[in-house]
A and B are shown apart, each in its own frame.
Chain A
Amino acid sequence: MKHIKDFLSKPATTITLLVLAAVLLIQSGIGTTKAALTYFSPTYNSRLQLTQIGVSLLENDKVISSRDYQSEGNWNENNNANDIQNTGLLFSDVEENIKLGKRYPTVLEVQNSGQIPEFVRVTITKYWLDENDQKVTTLDPDLIELNYVNKDDWFQIDEDTAERAVYYYKNLLEVGKKTTPLIDSIKIDGKLQEHKKVVETIEDGKKVTTSYYTYDKLKFCVEAKVDAIQEHNAAEAIHSSWGKQIAVNGTTLSRN
């Protein structure tokens, strides 16, 4: 510590550091000035782009939720949620008494509801909940079967986990356009009813045996989260915002 103090106290060191700081200050000032000049130049004004990004999640052609930028930090958010979690509600077309083994149509797509082209990705998470809405980690999420389609248009970077899968849409999504469907149906595996519990109790001196299905009254949960990002400088934007290195070739994304 004494050595450091001695070094920093030397006049030569002080002058050198001051000169270096001054050079850096001037350099950053030049960059800023150049940007200011560019902003006010007629050429910059004519190239001013709209910045209203927006995206919507659709299920069976109905908007489940959307979020579109308006202006001055205001967003137009819309979701058809009737629950307290403020997210759109999936599976409203699925009957209440689910038939195990039956495949229910659930077409998930993404639409560009903003004013600029964008790239999108979708994160699908699925898991089981008990009657108290606590996650059940002992039951395989793969019993919730989602049918992924259009695998030529959607690609993955990371391997799926049992609960989570992330898909990137390969093509740039123009304003107003929809992706091809990512998922087209859901099915709950009938294996759920192959496990029973038998409990014996003594009531009024008599043995009472009760059997019940182990997974009765459990709930399955599927979440779909859509991220959208600007087209301009997409590779840097994706790396900065999503933490992924993805190759951008014109209007197409691909694994790096």
Chain B
Amino acid sequence: MKRTWNLILSCLALCGILFFTLPQAYAYFTTYVAGRGVKEINLSHETKIEEEIPGPLQKSVTVTLEEGSQPVYVRVLAIAPTNTTLTYTPSQGWSQGNDGYYYYNTYLTEQNTSTNPLLIKIEPDQENTPTEFNVVVLSESVPVEFDEDGNALSPNWGKAIQIERGGRS
């Protein structure tokens, strides 16, 4: 019995020693605030070629930017059979490149969605005129790049990009 009481008292004393040797806890005055910003990146762009036939063997081509697209530069090229001559009459804003393409000098945006018309006259070779032939109009676009001040940089039509090919279905 005495031994048991000694054991109990020793344990209680040990607990007391541990308690009184614990370091005192201090509270400090602190506070905090936070801010968070999230913005979506829109990289997609889609253009559409609109053709009108103002007269025989003529095409009037306009390129239009679809809604929700990022700003783009555009260029146009018409492809015809070899014995056919194409004559371009560019309206304001179009200029001919050295590579046969016609380039629109201003980039298209959601506020400026359409180019001025580009008139193409088609003159097939009189001696070897086929009864039917196609003149295909090709339009290409590249996204506008900006400098740090928000000014548009000149378009880079030859820029290499990384392409990952996905699966087939």
Task: Answer yes or no: are A and B bound together in one complex.
Answer: yes
- A149 → chain B closest CB, angstroms: 15
Chain B residue contacts of A218, Cβ below 8 A: 40-41
CA of A231 to CA of B29 in the docked complex: distance in angstroms?
9
Chain B residues bordering chain A, tally (CB within 8 A): 55
A197 close to B164 (CB less than 8 A): yes
Chain B residue contacts of A196, Cβ below 8 A: 161-164
- A142 → chain B closest CB, angstroms: 15
User: Which residue in chain B gives the minimum CB-CB distance to A186?
Assistant: B37
Segment touching A, from B20-28, B48-56, B132-140: B20-28
Chain B residue contacts of A188, Cβ below 8 A: 41
Classify the interface of chain B: helix, strand, loop or mixed: mixed
A10 close to B37 (CB less than 8 A): no
Hey, what's the 0/1 contact readout for A222-238 against B, CB within 8 Å counting as 1? Answer: 11111111100100110
CA of A91 to CA of B164 in the docked complex: distance in angstroms?
32
- B146 → chain A closest CB, angstroms: 4
A89 close to B37 (CB less than 8 A): yes
- B85 → chain A closest CB, angstroms: 32
Tell me whether A11 is interfacial, beta carbon within 8 Å.
Answer: yes
B146 close to A114 (CB less than 8 A): no
A236 close to B41 (CB less than 8 A): no
User: Which residue in chain A gives the minimum CB-CB distance to B71?
Assistant: A99
Q: A198 with B33: in contact, given A217-B40, A218-B40 (CB under 8 Å)? A: no
Segment touching A, from B8-16, B73-81, B88-96, B117-125: B8-16
User: Which residue in chain A gives the minimum CB-CB distance to B165?
Assistant: A198
CA of A103 to CA of B150 in the docked complex: distance in angstroms?
7
- A151 → chain B closest CB, angstroms: 20
Tell me whether B126 is interfacial, beta carbon within 8 Å.
Answer: no
Partner of A199, one of B33, B147, B150, B166: B166
Chain B residue contacts of A129, Cβ below 8 A: 38
Q: A21 with B16: in contact, given A194-B161, A194-B162 (CB under 8 Å)? A: yes
Q: How many A-B residue pairs have CB under 8 A?
A: 224
Residues 193 to 241 of chain A near chain B (Cβ within 8 Å) = 193-202, 211-230, 233, 236-237, 240-241
Partner of A67, one of B10, B31, B147: B31
Q: A219 with B168: in contact, given A21-B17, A56-B33, A103-B149 (CB under 8 Å)? A: no
Chain B residue contacts of A20, Cβ below 8 A: 13, 17
B35 close to A90 (CB less than 8 A): yes
User: Which residue in chain A gives the minimum CB-CB distance to B25?
Assistant: A240
Tell me whether B57 is interfacial, beta carbon within 8 Å.
Answer: no
CA of A208 to CA of B168 in the docked complex: distance in angstroms?
10
A68 close to B36 (CB less than 8 A): no
- B122 → chain A closest CB, angstroms: 28
Tell me whether B155 is interfacial, beta carbon within 8 Å.
Answer: no
Interface hub of A28, A101, A236 (most chain B Cβ within 10 A): A101
Chain A residue contacts of B31, Cβ below 8 A: 53-55, 67-69, 75, 114, 227-228
Tell me whether A161 is interfacial, beta carbon within 8 Å.
Answer: no
- B149 → chain A closest CB, angstroms: 7
Interface positions of B (Cβ within 8 A of A): 3-4, 6-7, 9-14, 16-17, 20-21, 26, 28-44, 70-71, 110, 143-150, 153, 159-169
**New A-B pairs, 6, CB < 8 Å, besides A64-B35, A98-B41, A237-B29:** A21-B20, A88-B33, A99-B144, A114-B31, A226-B32, A240-B28
